[in-house]
Structure 1
Amino acid sequence: MNEAYKNIIDRRSVRNFNDIKVSHDVIEKIVYAGQCAPSGMNRQIFAFVVVENEELIEKLSKMNAEIMNSTSDPFYGAKSMIIVFADSNAPTYLYDGALAMGNLMNAANALGVDSCWIHRAKEVFETDFGKKLKREWQIPESYEGIGHCILGYRAQELSERAQRTSKVIYA
């Protein structure tokens, strides 16, 4: 089977990470794959923020949990993440950002790293603290949070994959 196809089929979202950090070299490769994602008219309207600071990850986790009225860790103990932003001035920004997130997760899997897309980046970066971070990171105001791509290594084996039941129509 073609390796690229196998990688797409085998990728899984992981929600339980061990304490081993992903090396910075591997994260750079994952980010580059995100930069290579297709975008409308090849605008490349992405911004990627790599977060490896555990205190900041914890703060962002708490903010994310508050948005969904929860006290659990929505980042599942991941020690690294890549936050994807896209310029909301572009009509395709949401789709472009989603493609970048997909590239990040597929690249992570190809490199032996587990990942999961965590939502609520938009809401987190609409808060005063989120806006402050965007300014510190020099992310323009028009850039909207698309998602948090959490990264790490699974703490336990995954259960068997659920049967795929999406409706497919050939017309």
Structure 2
Amino acid sequence: MNETLYNILTRRSIRQYQQKQLKDEEVQSILEAGQFAPSAMNQQSWHITVVQSKEMLQKINGTCRAVFLKSGVKNMEERGKAENFSPFYHAPTFIIVCGEANAIAPQNDGSLALGNMLLAAHSLGIGSCWIHAMNYVFSTEEGKALKKELGIPEGYVSVGAAAFGYKAGESPAPAPRKEGTVHIIK
């Protein structure tokens, strides 16, 4: 099988990580893959924030917990109460992707960049998991303060984030694919 197709078909969301930090050259390869994603009119409207500082990861975790606990959404509140709470599964590297709000397609551009990073990580033997929680967190007052502390420029909207790290266990089996999601017209 073609190596690219193999990586696409075998990548899985990983939710358990070793605490060993990724090598700088691995992170750079992942980031480069993200920056080479297609974007609307080649605007490259993304802003990518890499967090590896244990203190900042704890701050993000604490802010997320506080926001989840007062969300008014039952499953978020329950998740926030968990003793071992971490929206990014305690991964040693957390990457947040935002898009320039005034760009043609910031959500699409950032999603493609994040997707490239997830696939690049898998090709390097690194686990990853898309994390959508930051989109909600950044919409709150606490989240806006955190966004500023993270150095995300004004005028950028949250697209998504991802946890990255060396897997601490086996990859899960793939979920069955939904049927009826493809329509071919010849």
TM-score by length of 1: 0.90
Contact 1:85–1:143 under 8 Å retained in 2: yes
Structure 2 equivalent of residue 154 of structure 1: 167
CA distance in 2, matches of 1:157, 1:139: 34
CA positional deviation for 1:134: 4.2
Within 5 A, what are the aligned runs for 1:36-75? 36-65=36-65, 66-67=67-68, 68-69=76-77, 70-71=79-80, 72-75=85-88
CA positional deviation for 1:93: 0.8
| 1:2 counterpart = 2:2 | yes
Contact 1:86–1:143 under 8 Å retained in 2: yes
SS in 1 for 2:173: coil
SS in 1 for 2:20: coil
Within 5 A, what are the aligned runs for 1:67-146? 67=68, 68-69=76-77, 70-71=79-80, 72-135=85-148, 138-146=151-159
* 1:142-170 deviation digits (Å, cap 9, x = unpaired): 10121121100121113322221242222
CA distance in 2, matches of 1:52, 1:126: 23
Show structure 2 runs of 5+ residues with no match. Answer: 69-75
Tell which deviates more after alignment, 155-164 or 87-96.
155-164
CA positional deviation for 1:106: 0.5
Which residue identity does 1:149 align to in structure 2?
A
SS in 1 for 2:158: strand
SS in 2 for 1:156: coil
**Which protein shows a greater Rg?**
2
CA distance in 2, matches of 1:13, 1:43: 29
SS in 1 for 2:95: strand
Tell which deviates more after alignment, 34-43 or 16-25.
16-25
Which residue identity does 1:146 align to in structure 2?
V
Tell me: CA distance 1:5–1:33, structure 2 relative to 1, closer, same or farther (3 Å). same
Identical columns (%): 40
Which residue identity does 2:51 align to in structure 1?
V
Aligned residue pair count: 171
Within 5 A, what are the aligned runs for 1:25-44? 25-44=25-44
CA distance in 2, matches of 1:139, 1:20: 26
| Aligned-pair Cα RMSD in Å | 1.8
CA positional deviation for 1:136: 5.0
Which residue identity does 1:123 align to in structure 2?
Y
Show structure 1 runs of 5+ residues with no match. Answer: none
Contact 2:48–2:98 under 8 Å retained in 1: yes
Contact 1:60–1:124 under 8 Å retained in 2: no
Tell which deviates more after alignment, 14-23 or 54-63.
54-63
